[in-house]
């Protein structure tokens, strides 16, 4: 697996970037409200799911969230991933809605790389936003470390996929594929069948399940730190036989081996945060915040890891970043 995954990491990502290493500080953010726009979307999604009833306009609002999220992501994909992944690794507030947005943009990119129809991708977008609708409150509480896992709580967790699909139907959703994706997103009964042999909802559910697991591993809980993005990426890229598969390859292309928002150490001994995907999956662009001699920086130095002088030595835990990240400047460095 190691050699195969290494070869995959050297492949060109689905959204390559250009540029060279530079010692110039990043320009202060030209769009200081970008992170706030994602934060507002998280709030709107949370409120929309609270108002899910047959007599409310929740579906119109949910479509507006989908549209706005895709506009933000299509305009600035790396900055979106940086904000969503960094936030997932450091905060637990509104976990459910934030997690859904992160899953939606990643699953959307994976599906586009697999050349799926626009209709199926849209159904999966909506499934990503609502897959946990029936346990939204519980999911937020679990991330915050509040409830004990009693038998009743375990039953709600285990049954949330079916319960969420039933909630959607009861509240007026009519897209059968969307609801089937939600219902099947934890069902691995067909995991050994090739993707091409599955129906639309089954294929989309398999992708969403993989993305859901990947994003969850990147996310902080009150009871545990997030997993290393490299380890999460490696685990997410393998199929039922333990080898990288077509979903894994598309996922690696969508986020890179070192996803934006993750902490890395370079061969130059510098430490920073990935701000953008690069020419290859294992060659991101990094905003260095700690110099090789340990000196912290107020503004990041941009490094293109395509330059072997600044190749990634390895991923670090979020606790390795001993200085506060200037996120406006980091976002300004992210396309």
pLDDT in tens, 46-66: 999 999 999 999 999 999 999
Distance CA 285, CA 18 (A): 9
Match 């598309």 to its residue by tokens.
250
What is the count of structural domains for the chain?
A: 1
- Please state the φ and ψ torsions of residue 227, each to the nearest 5 degrees: -75, 155
φ, ψ of residue 114 in degrees (nearest 5): -90, 5
- Model confidence band, residue 21 (pLDDT cutoffs 50, 70, 90): very low
DSSP per residue, 46-62: HHHHHT--TTS-HHHHH
Output the six-digit token pair for 265: 């150490």
- Which of helix, strand or coil describes residue 40? helix
* Phi-psi label, residue 94: left if phi above 0, alpha if psi -120 to 50, beta otherwise: left
CATH number at residue 170: 1.10.3210
Rounded mean pLDDT of 205-214?
95
Report CA Rg, the chain: 20
pLDDT tens for 88-97 read: 988 889 999 9
pLDDT tens column, 276-332: 999 898 999 999 999 999 999 999 999 999 999 999 999 998 777 888 889 889 988
**118: Cα separation from own chain's centroid:** 20
Are 181 and 123 contacting, i.e. CB atoms less than 8 angstroms apart? Answer: yes
Domain region containing 135: 2-332
According to the model, what pLDDT value does residue 5 have?
39
Residue 29 has pLDDT above 70, yes or no: no
Contact criterion met (CB below 8 Å) for 73 and 260: no
Higher pLDDT, 81 or 147: 81
Helix (H, G, I), strand (E, B) or coil at 276: strand
Report the alpha-carbon angle 117-56-72, nearest 5. Answer: 45
Q: How confident is the model at residue 189 (pLDDT cuts 50, 70, 90)?
A: confident
Higher-confidence residue: 63 or 11? 63
- The pLDDT of residue 2 is 42
Helical ranges in 114-223 per DSSP H: 118-130, 136-143, 151-158, 160-170, 176-184, 200-218
| SS3 state of residue 175 | coil
């Amino acid at each position: 697996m190691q050699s195969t995954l290494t070869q995959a990491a050297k492949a060109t990502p689905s959204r390559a970037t250009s540029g060279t290493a530079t010692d110039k500080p990043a320009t202060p953010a030209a769009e200081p409200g970008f992170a706030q726009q994602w934060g507002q979307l998280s709030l709107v999604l949370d409120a929309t799911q609270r108002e899910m009833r047959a007599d409310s306009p929740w579906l119109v609002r949910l479509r507006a969230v989908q549209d706005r999220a895709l506009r933000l992501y299509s305009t600035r994909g790396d900055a979106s991933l940086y904000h969503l992944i960094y936030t997932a690794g450091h905060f637990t507030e509104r976990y459910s809605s934030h997690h859904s947005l992160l899953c939606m943009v990643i699953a959307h990119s994976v599906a586009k790389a697999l050349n799926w129809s626009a209709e199926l991708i849209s159904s999966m977008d909506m499934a990503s936003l609502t897959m946990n609708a029936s346990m939204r409150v519980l999911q937020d509480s679990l991330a915050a470390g509040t409830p004990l896992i009693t038998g009743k709580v375990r039953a709600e967790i285990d049954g949330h996929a079916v319960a969420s699909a039933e909630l959607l139907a009861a509240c007026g959703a009519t897209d059968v594929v969307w609801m089937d994706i939600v219902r099947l997103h934890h069902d691995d009964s067909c995991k050994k069948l090739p993707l091409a042999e599955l129906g639309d909802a089954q294929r989309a559910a398999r992708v969403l399940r993989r993305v859901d697991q990947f994003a969850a591993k990147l996310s902080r809980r009150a009871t545990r730190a997030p997993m290393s993005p490299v380890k999460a990426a490696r685990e997410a890229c393998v199929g039922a036989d333990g080898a990288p598969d077509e979903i894994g390859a598309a996922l690696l292309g969508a986020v890179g081996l070192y996803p934006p928002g993750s902490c890395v150490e370079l061969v130059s001994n510098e430490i920073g945060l990935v701000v953008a995907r690069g020419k290859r999956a294992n060659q991101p662009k990094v905003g260095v915040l700690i110099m090789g001699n340990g000196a912290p920086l107020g503004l990041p130095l941009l490094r293109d890891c395509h330059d072997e002088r600044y190749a990634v030595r390895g991923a670090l835990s979020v606790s390795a970043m001993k200085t506060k990240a200037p996120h406006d400047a980091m976002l300004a460095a992210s396309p």
